[in-house]
Chain A
Amino acid sequence: MPEGIKDKVAIIGMGCTRFGELWNQSPEDLMIDAFKEAIEDAGIEKKDIQAAWQGGPEFTSVNIGDSALPLSQALKLPFIPVTKVENMCASGSEAIRGACYAIASGACDIAMALGIEKLKDTGYGGLPEFSHWAVIGTKHRIIAANQTAPGMYAMLATRYFNRYGIGPEEGKRMLATVSAKSHHNGALNPKAHLRREVTVEQIMNAPIVAWPLGLFDCCGVSDGAAAAILCRADMAKDFRPDPVYVKALQIAATSGEEEMFNDFDYTHVECTTRAGARAYEEAGIKNPRDEISMAEVHDCFSITEAVTMEDLQFSPRGKVKDDIMGGRFNLDGAQPIQPDGGLKCFGHPVGASGIRMVYEMYLQLQGRADKRQIKDPKYGLTHNLGGIPYRAIVSVIIVGL
């Protein structure tokens, strides 16, 4: 194992817009709003930023434009290196990774990562059609099942229930409990897209999108932007007394074996398992269930959050139901998950989500999370899962004081 980037890079400022169906805000508006909050939070000026990365997955090509030019032009960045990175739902985290590696290598001292998405200009309820050739390639578009994200994750639930002998009613209840918790947290968050508490019964009785996933098992589809200002760890306290340090940052992309080789069980996500294990090693974490104080994971669907708890070693394999039903992941539980409402309720502007997750961990670590504040957190983890369970790209970031 290489020595990694633990404690080499710090976050000194962050910004995040309200997420939602922001019909009257342009992509430029959102980028500027997130940027403005971030530089003010860091106490720097635009000229201090030496490089920038924009996270935006394939959908931004349609609504915002390709390349980093939409970002550099909107913010009038002064001829610095700006790069757009695209890795599906991990794009925001990938932007942070670009900035971190640039700083850790000594290529620059202060860098920015910004994620943006404007899904509500595509005309679709749910994610835009992704059988489109631009998203999955010309050959795959023709041979892939005519699928959607809810359906591909629903199959994770079908197989999970089958493997662990969970009946349909029992399984629906487990998943509803995941979403009810996130709705509770989202209701406490003024920037969240969905701010209404819902009961387990309401969730279980909602219309089915893709069996067994119903409406409330699926996250919000939103517009929004989030930004982070990062710098060399040794200069962080020049900007603020409470910088947050990057402890680990790992990405894992599928090898294709989960999709095409018969061994894969389809009751977990291998990329999450691998990226999580590598991040723990980089951060020096031995027992994630006890040591990770809180996490924002990629709960695009309730079942995704459930299996992610096992993949990240927060719950033993096949046992997450006990932890969900026991309240372990509630805001007042032993290991709060999605304190800001998660993708479920904060919303999911795809390119922005990775940075939004770090934003919540950053606020929590600094004690600035208001009604959602978790007591004395030490390590916060963020997790993005791009693609579908067997054709995935996963990021895991661990931050701490």
Chain B
Amino acid sequence: MAGITSYGAYIPLQRISRKTISAATGWSTSAASAPGEKAVANYDEDSLTMAVAAATDCLNGLERDKVDGIYLATTTPPYRERQNAGIIATALDLQPAIRTCDFSDSIKAGTGALLSACDAIEAGTGENIMVCASDCRPGKAGSFQEVMFGEGAAALMIGNKDVIADLKGSYSLSYDFMDQWRADGDKYNRIWEDRWIRDEAYTKFIPEAIAGLLKKYSLETKDFAKIIFPCVYLREHGAIAKRLQLEPEQVQQEILTTIGDTGTAHSLMMLVAALEEAKPGDRILVASYGNGSDAMFFEVTDKIKKIKGRRGIKKHLESRKELTSYERYSSFRDVIPLEMGFRGEVGPSMVSVMWRERKTILGLVGTKCKRCGTPQYPYQRVCVNPACGAIDEMEEYRFSDKKGRLFSYTSDSLAFSASPPEMYGIISFEEGGRFAFNLTDCDMESLSVDMPVEMSFRKKYADQVRGIHGYFWKAMPPRA
């Protein structure tokens, strides 16, 4: 039976207090009075990079060659044409005989992708399909969205071997309800009146989807250890739970005050949080929101005990750094566009080079000498070990999942950075190999020679001449 075989999540390091936002834009909006904080993708992160981070968490300890599908759900795909899931597959160094698909246009797309993956497994057309849901939605300065939207990603591996949570059933609702919309060419969402959205959508669709599922499978709410549903109006989340007559421990906590509304990833991130605490035999119901709702229910198996080493929601939440500058935050998503100067002019990119070197660039794949065993990046045909020098005796070697040490480093005020100063260092990989990489998610004071680092897939440049998002890998201190 199809179900979840592994999970992972990603929450960016930086959090901004809603008080910081309200101090900056509160004079223009009443929405800024919302409590808590939200997760902020760094200037070099977007939906794709966060999806890769969540996927990497999910793949921990698994064989990458066995993955035969990547489904990406996002309403903020960096490319409108060029498959975004395909970029993820390349970044993860997956084999090319794989089904990739983007699910988009509604924040319900996360559960849509998850259901489709389960259907494919049930139908026997795939064995291990990873669903990544990730969103990085900007909000206009002073808007409700700016206050409520947070950034994050979830990844779930779907298969039928070693299942940790069996999918037992689902019930879907679709309504063309225009609570928020973003037409082609728009950068920001538009929104209708909040009371209407609260009373006519959240309050009705989520109970309707849950009731539909319960009726379809002759179940009651008390049959579930956890019931997961989102609601961007925090007080209404509690009211819906009360109306469903749920015990407090049955309600999966909303992540609005810690992470924010993460769009397509939202329900799946709450599901990952539930799985982190789940025990064998638990039944979990998850209902999503967005132009209707998908409700699904899972039964946790004893294989869940074998899932270890995930950062998931819990560890990523604990690993945080406060972003105290609203102005810096708003420059990350270009809400306040900054002068980039001559050094910020990049390009033009050579697309044929990006294709030929895709493993080198997106996959961080180098070579390892079969004669002397030296890993080397980027790929070499002539071994770089002066004592070896073998020619054409190389095999591919992936660096993205290898641990490294910061051999030397600097913080550079001359180099271009969208969030200066630019930091970079020479990374010595513990199993061999060395190269200079940009550093991210750190500050100069936290760095020291020989400290451990890990690799993170990030946006390296934006080529405005040819409209290309340049992705590559950076090094950073391990998150946990």
A residues at B contact (CB < 8 Å): 123-126, 129, 131, 133, 138-139, 142-148, 150-152, 154-156, 158-159, 162, 207-211, 255-257, 259-262, 264, 266, 390
Contact = CB atoms under 8 A, between A and B. Distances in A.
Interface stretch (B86-94, B273-281, B408-416): B408-416
B455 to A, nearest CB: 12
B426 A266 contact: yes
A145 B416 CA distance: 11
A126 B444 CA distance: 22
B449 A209 contact: no
Contact of B414 (A139, A145, A151): A151
Interface in B361-383: 361, 374, 376-378, 380
A260 B384 contact: yes
A125 B424 CA distance: 20
A142 B409 contact: no
Interface in B403-455: 407-417, 422, 424-426, 428, 432-438, 444, 449
A145 B437 CA distance: 5
19 contacts: A126-B414, A129-B342, A129-B345, A131-B346, A139-B361, A139-B378, A143-B360, A143-B361, A145-B438, A148-B414, A150-B414, A155-B426, A158-B410, A159-B407, A208-B411, A211-B444, A259-B435, A261-B374, A266-B408
Contacts of A207: 413
Contact of A147 (B345, B407, B436): B436
A262 B432 CA distance: 7
Contacts of A146: 415-417, 422, 424, 438, 460-461
A25 to B, nearest CB: 22
Interface stretch (B67-75, B324-332, B349-357): B349-357
A150 B422 CA distance: 12
A65 B381 CA distance: 34
B449 A139 contact: no
A261 B385 contact: yes
Contacts of A159: 407-408, 449
Given A148-B414, A148-B415, 9 more contacts: A143-B361, A145-B424, A146-B415, A146-B416, A151-B422, A155-B426, A211-B410, A255-B386, A264-B434
Interface in B301-342: 342
A155 B385 CA distance: 23
B243 interface: no
B384 A256 contact: yes
Nearest to B449: A162
B426 A209 contact: no
Nearest to A266: B408
Contacts of B82: none
Contacts of A209: 412-414
A124 B346 CA distance: 14
B399 to A, nearest CB: 11
Interface centre among A146, A152, A255, A264 (most CB of B within 10 A): A146
Contacts of B360: 139, 143
Contacts of B428: 262
A123 to B, nearest CB: 6
A27 B310 CA distance: 61
Contacts of B417: 146
Interface in B161-194: none
B35 to A, nearest CB: 38
A174 B425 CA distance: 23
A184 B407 CA distance: 35
A57 B144 CA distance: 54
Closest 4 CB pairs between A and B?
A151-B412, A154-B410, A145-B424, A155-B408
Contacts of A129: 342-343, 345, 416
Contacts of A123: 342
Given A138-B353, A158-B408, A151 B424 contact: yes
Nearest to B434: A262
Contacts of A124: 342-343
Contact of A260 (B345, B346, B376, B437): B376
Contacts of B425: 145, 155
B457 interface: no
B26 interface: no
B385 A210 contact: no
**Chain B contact surface mostly:** mixed
B74 to A, nearest CB: 24
Given A129-B416, A155-B408, A210-B411, A145 B436 contact: yes
A72 B409 CA distance: 44
A151 B415 contact: yes
Contacts of A255: 384, 386
B7 interface: no
A210 B412 CA distance: 4
B415 A262 contact: no
Contacts of B353: 138-139, 142
A60 B413 CA distance: 25
Contacts of B460: 142, 146
B454 to A, nearest CB: 16
A139 B357 contact: yes
A266 B407 contact: yes
Contacts of A133: 350
A139 B359 CA distance: 12
A121 to B, nearest CB: 13
Nearest to A158: B408
B297 interface: no
A390 B435 CA distance: 10
Nearest to A264: B434
Contacts of A151: 410, 412, 414-415, 422, 424
Nearest to A210: B412
A162 B424 CA distance: 17
Nearest to B361: A142
Given A139-B378, A146-B422, A257 B412 contact: no
Contacts of B149: none
A257 B357 contact: no
Given A133-B350, A159-B449, A209-B414, A261 B386 contact: yes
A285 to B, nearest CB: 26
Given A257-B385, A260-B433, A262-B428, A208 B413 contact: yes
A261 B412 CA distance: 24
A146 B449 CA distance: 20
A138 B351 CA distance: 10
A316 B424 CA distance: 30
B1 to A, nearest CB: 44
B103 interface: no
Contact of A143 (B378, B386, B432): B378
Interface centre among B374, B408, B417 (most CB of A within 10 A): B408
Contact of B434 (A125, A148, A259): A259
Contacts of A156: 408
Contact of A211 (B354, B411, B426, B434): B411
A264 B380 CA distance: 18
B348 to A, nearest CB: 8
Contacts of A210: 410-415
A150 B426 CA distance: 15
Nearest to B437: A145
A144 B433 contact: no
B142 interface: no
Contacts of A147: 412, 415, 422, 424, 436
B472 interface: yes
B470 interface: yes
B410 A257 contact: no
Contacts of A131: 346
Contacts of B437: 145
Contacts of A150: 412, 414
Contact of B386 (A152, A158, A257, A390): A257
A158 B378 CA distance: 24
Nearest to B379: A139
A260 B411 CA distance: 22
